[in-house]
Amino acid sequence: MDSELLITWGIGLFIILLFLIPYIRKMKRQEAYTKKRLEETRSKRQDKALLQHPIINQSSCIGCGICVEVCPEGDVLGLIDGKATIIHGSHCVGHGKCAENCPVGAIEIGLGDISQREDIPQLSPNFETNISGLYIVGELSGLALIKNAISHGVNAIDHIQKNNSNNLDSEFDVVIVGAGPAGLSAALRAKELGLKYMILDQDQPGGTILQYPRRKLVLVQAVDLPLYGTLKKGEYSKEDLLDIWEKVIEDQKIKLLTGHKLLGITGEKGNFTVNTSSGPANASQVVLALGRRGTPRKLGIPGEELSKVMYKLIDAETYKNRKILVIGGGDSAIEAAIGLGHQDGNEVTMSYRKENFFRLKARNETHIQDAINNGLVNVIFNSNASMIDKNSVTLNSKESSIKLDNEFVFIFAGGELPFPLLNSIGIEFGKKVEAVT
């Protein structure tokens, strides 16, 4: 019996080792790859997240790897020494799938220590600023994603309704500045609750979505839009989302005025004056849903005033058989270059002032590399445009000056963010956001 038992144990151990050894080897190879990726992202300064990101409790993490598998953006997370670790933080846009699926609750999505950040406003859990009755929702809060923007707008209006001063001298209970997802959801909720409201925007409804390339897919996640219903699909095209905004605005007869650029806000809760380029509006409380893109930043170079120069791409299909320069290295520039590069006959060149691309979304990083490899886009790193002429553009690099034949120039140099305006209003920055998302 003892020899039979020993044989049985031996066979069992052999079977275990037969499967365990390859598994251990696979895990070691994967960890070696993950460490190598972390070194690469650190060298490119892509390991840190710009805004929201997973905050991992290492003492609670059991190293199951579920968070790595469920991330929609790819290699944001990896396992090192049996613990979840941020590998490519610049790819993180805060979907929160890692936190939702962690079986031991070792992950939360937050902004980390932002005490020294000058671009994150001080907000209450209900998105109220240090100025009572004045709220900031959406991208300006530091938390991106359409799902977050919609919930922010609803949350802020619920708090306003709860604490409404009912000032009869005010024209509106609430004025909402910005008609993107956050502003629109706030307006819908305000109407649903019977508040007197108005949306003001310097552009058309849609906010940041208006700047997206044609047919761009946007990850939304399931979320309820007041007076409309649930946005159930995981992804929507730009056009589908804008159709939804237009339909709900028309069906619900949303009070919206365009062409109103915010110039300042004075007064106090119960009696705010919202000053715009088209005149003032008086409100008991105010919700700012401005977004973070701001007014397109110009380069300040000769020829930038020419009609061939643009700061956003509306429809790539209208450009064919053209010589095009895209200036910039962020996601918007990448998406525009890829879209233009896929049109028949286009010669697309990108000029970027740094040595490589930083903080791109995972799929954009893959797609631009494919476009480069396939000859659809030519990239000139460490270069700056110095002059734009009718038929050419001059690029300067450390070594030389290059003159390119050119018909159109698209500039994606970021935006003049609204922080100086917010500072002039008296809004304070730097305290951790504790908002419910």
Report d(CA 323, CA 347) in Å as an integer: 5
Do residues 346 and 319 lie in contact, with contact meaning Cβ atoms separated by under 8 Å?
Answer: yes
Helix (H) or strand (E) holding 363: helix 362-373
Do residues 109 and 259 lie in contact, with contact meaning Cβ atoms separated by under 8 Å?
Answer: no
Could you read off the pLDDT tens digit of each residue along the chain, which spans 437 residues?
Answer: 567 777 777 777 767 766 666 666 776 777 777 777 777 777 766 667 666 778 888 888 888 888 888 888 777 888 888 888 888 877 777 777 888 888 888 887 776 655 556 678 888 989 999 999 999 998 888 776 788 888 999 999 999 998 876 555 778 999 999 988 899 999 999 999 999 999 998 877 776 666 665 556 565 567 788 998 888 776 777 778 888 888 899 999 999 998 888 999 999 999 999 999 988 999 999 999 987 766 778 899 999 999 899 988 877 888 999 999 999 998 889 999 999 999 999 999 999 999 888 778 778 888 999 999 999 999 999 999 999 999 999 999 887 899 999 999 999 988 777 888 888 999 988 754 444 44
Q: What are 388's strand-pairing partners? A: 393
The string over 346-379, giving b where at least 16 C-beta atoms fall within 10 Å of a residue's C-beta and e elsewhere, is bbbbbbbeeeebebbbbbbbebbeebbeeebbeb
Instruction: Spell out the domains of the chain, with CATH numbers in brackets.
Output: 2-110 (3.30.70.20), 134-294+418-425 (3.50.50.60), 303-415 (3.50.50.60)
Eight-class DSSP state of 205: T
Q: Pick the closest to residue 274 from 187, 208, 201, 207 (CA basis).
A: 201
Report d(CA 290, CA 208) in Å as an integer: 9
Report d(CA 178, CA 168) in Å as an integer: 24
Query: What tokens were used for 376?
Result: 């659809």
Report d(CA 161, CA 183) in Å as an integer: 16
Cα separations in angstroms, 220 against 59, 156, 190, 194, 373: 32, 20, 22, 27, 31
The DSSP secondary structure of 104-153, one letter per residue, reads T--EEEE----TT-SSSB---TT-B-SSTTEEE-GGGGT--SHHHHHHHH
What's the predicted TM-score (pTM) here?
Answer: 0.65
Q: CA angle at residue 120 from 119 to 121, to 5 degrees? A: 115
Q: Pick the closest to residue 179 from 233, 235, 122, 248 (CA basis).
A: 248
Q: Are strands 295-296 and 415-416 parallel, antiparallel or unpaired?
A: antiparallel
Report d(CA 418, CA 433) in Å as an integer: 19
Residues 6+ apart with CB under 8 A from 148: 94, 138, 437
Query: What tokens were used for 347?
Result: 């010669």
Eight-class DSSP state of 89: G
Report d(CA 390, CA 398) in Å as an integer: 25
Query: What tokens were used for 196?
Result: 């007197």
Cα separations in angstroms, 436 against 67, 85, 245, 298: 21, 24, 24, 36
The amino acid at residue 54 is P
3-class state of residue 195 by DSSP: coil
pLDDT tens figures, 121-171: 888 989 999 999 999 998 888 776 788 888 999 999 999 998 876 555 778
Report the sign of the C-alpha dihedral through residues 236, 363, 51, 77, in that order.
Answer: positive
